[in-house]
Amino acid sequence: MTDETSSTHNHSRSADVAARIERRWAIVAIAVIALIAVMAAYGGIHRATMPQTQVETIDPTTLHLNGEFIESNLGSAIEPNGSVTVRVVGQQYSFTPQCILVPTDTPITIRATSPDVVHGFLIEGTNINTMLVPGYISDLPVQFNKPGEHLMPCHEFCGVGHEGMWGKVKVIDKFDFLQLSTKERRLNCVD
Ligand SMILES: [Cu+2]
């Protein structure tokens, strides 16, 4: 072997090594991207992320006049399938209803919006934490396993009265809730 051929040989061998290492790192990079894409899809589909990608809009100037957020429709309603839907409006500077009444061990959907400015919506002790944005409906699933009370502060500065904007969620036994629901179409604990 002459010096020249051996150096060409070495050169092509190191090029092979470099190509192999590059390929390996490309596979690692693609695997990381694929893993992140799968995690994002899983989080979105299983509602593990907020805000949701699904966007529901509503006209904030007329929500008190017609549609599901008129005053007589606010509060907790039992659906035909046994789940509960709670409709809430956050406005400067209170929530309606101010006290939300819900049953234990029942799938609950909270639907909330705002007619004026952005408010925060948080239920202490749960993963419910979102914003009420005028023009949009926030739709959140929650379930409570035991009776009790949870504070529900507005945690988004919404004006001079912001610090006084508090509500609460009262969780009562499923059986008691069902009994109350035979008397009223929409339940809350302000009455
Ligand atoms: Cu507020």
CB-facing half-sphere around the CA of 182: CA atoms within 13 A: 5
- pTM (2 decimals)? 0.73
pLDDT tens digits along 12-41: 888 999 999 999 999 999 999 999 999 988
CA distance 80 to 119: 31
Architecture of domain 71-181: Sandwich (2.60)
Distance (angstroms) between ligand 1 centre and the Cα of 182 equals 33
Distance (angstroms) between ligand 1 centre and the Cα of 26 equals 49
Which pLDDT tens digits describe the chain residue by residue (191 residues)? 456 666 677 778 889 999 999 999 999 999 999 999 999 888 777 766 655 556 888 999 998 898 899 999 999 999 999 999 999 999 999 999 999 999 999 999 999 999 999 999 999 999 899 999 999 999 989 999 999 999 999 999 999 999 999 999 999 999 999 999 888 888 898 65
Residue type (1 letter), 93 = Y
- Beta strand extents in 97-147 (DSSP E only): 99-103, 108-113, 119-122, 129-132, 138-142
Distance (angstroms) between ligand 1 centre and the Cα of 134 equals 12
Domain boundaries, given as residue ranges, for the chain: 1-49, 71-181
Distance (angstroms) between ligand 1 centre and the Cα of 133 equals 11
Q: 116: closest CA among 134, 130, 138, 97?
A: 134
